[in-house]
Amino acid sequence: MSVECYAQRLLNPFRGAVHVIRHASAEAVTTDGVHWDIYVSNDALLADLPQDCRVQTSDIRYGSWSAAQGLKRGPINLYDDFLAMEAMGALVYEQLTQLHTRVPFTYTDHYELWLLDSAGQPLALLASARSEREMALDQTGRRWQAGYAARERFTSTAWRGEAAVTAADHLCDYINGRAGPRPQAQWFQRQADGSGRGLQFADTPASLADRHLAAAAFPRYILAEAGHDEQHRRLIDDYHAWLAPWLLLLQGLAPEARAELERQARAQALEVARQHRLYPAVVNQAELNAALVESVLLNSQARRQTAEDAALSTFYIELNPGGGEYL
């Protein structure tokens, strides 16, 4: 029986990582190390298709699981194909109960799609893949996205523009502008030493195929940090600081970089509490513990406020049982 355990980044926008326990076409996935979803798909439908055919089969939800709440089953169907998928889902569920404490798993998405700047150098990370066949399924555009959460919550003193344009919107426009009027992106196969081999794929110019870039050519996080004016360098630094709770999920960070991210992540204690079980290393345990304590206090305050709001709502209903005509 072959069971894989691996992690893969969620990109464009960067929103953390998924950790997977997989057997055949069934997998259990988590983004927090606590709550798992189990899916199965009918990969038998792909058996006669060519290797480079861009087709994905639909997933069927086998169920969800956590150590505290156990298994909650999804809908059950009794046709032949589903019975085969049901058996795979049951096997993955069994493995999940034994392997869930081993997270974080190792990242295996060594193929990376980079938006290139006008000089052909990696500028922004758009996607990652575990194999060349997975690369063929990529539907990513050639525009980098900061994401909806960044539009709502990311701020920076480096951006004091018009109110209708958020710091995230301005950062997107700036980064994509650096790619030039005809943006290009390239897949790279990253090596153990951090270097990357450029691949000839889809619309990649032939002149860029098979080139080799040293590790220093690739940004350490999501966006290139060098080559910007002072304002935009600060804006990018602030964006990476805002991403700190998620960037701490990455493996291979230098200790000093991880320590700085841990310090920055304190500003988002609730996100640290959601993600920390999947952090591959901790440099300053006291910093992490402080964030977790703060998250408990914040959750407690939120529950208390919810209870007070509910009680107040009931109070007004009792004063005016006929409805809200006086409000």
Domain end call among 102, 129, 150: 102
Q: What pLDDT is attached to residue 54? A: 44
233 Rama sector, left if φ>0, alpha if ψ -120 to 50, beta otherwise: alpha
Question: What's the pLDDT score for residue 80?
Answer: 56
> For every one of its 327 residues, what pLDDT tens digit does the chain have, with 9 covering 90 and above?
699 999 999 999 999 999 999 998 899 999 999 999 999 987 543 444 344 444 344 678 899 999 999 999 987 765 556 777 888 899 999 999 999 999 999 999 999 999 999 999 999 999 999 998 888 777 667 899 999 999 999 999 999 877 789 999 999 999 999 999 999 999 999 999 999 999 987 677 888 888 999 999 999 999 999 999 999 999 999 999 999 999 999 999 999 999 999 999 999 999 999 999 999 999 999 999 999 999 999 988 777 666 655 555 554 444 444 444 323
Does one domain contain both 205 and 301? no
Same domain, 123 and 216: yes
Q: Pick from 242, 262, 277: which residue ends a domain?
A: 242
Provide the token pair at 226: 């060098």
In this structure, are 152 and 168 located in the same domain?
A: yes
Instruction: Quote the number of domains for the chain.
Output: 3
- Residue 185, CA distances (Å) to 47, 53, 188, 192 in order: 31, 21, 10, 22
One-letter amino acid of 184: Q
Residues 151 and 235 occupy one common structural domain: yes
What gap in Å lies between CA 309 and CA 312, rounded to an integer? 5
- pLDDT of res. 31: 97
Task: Clarify whether residues 238 and 254 are in a common domain.
Answer: no
Residues 228 and 324 in one domain: no
Query: Do 143 and 45 form a contact (C-beta atoms < 8 A)?
Result: no
Residues 269 and 219 in one domain: no
Q: Which of 102, 119, 137 is the last residue of a domain?
A: 102
pLDDT computed for residue 132 by the predictor: 87
Same domain membership, residue 235 and residue 270? no
Domain that holds residue 312: 247-327
Q: Does one domain contain both 93 and 71?
A: yes
C-alpha distances in Å from residue 58, one per residue of 17, 45, 137, 177, 223: 21, 11, 14, 36, 32
245: Cα within 13 Å, side-chain hemisphere: 20
Same domain, 80 and 32: yes
Are residues 272 and 180 part of one domain? no
Q: Is the domain of 115 the same as that of 235?
A: yes
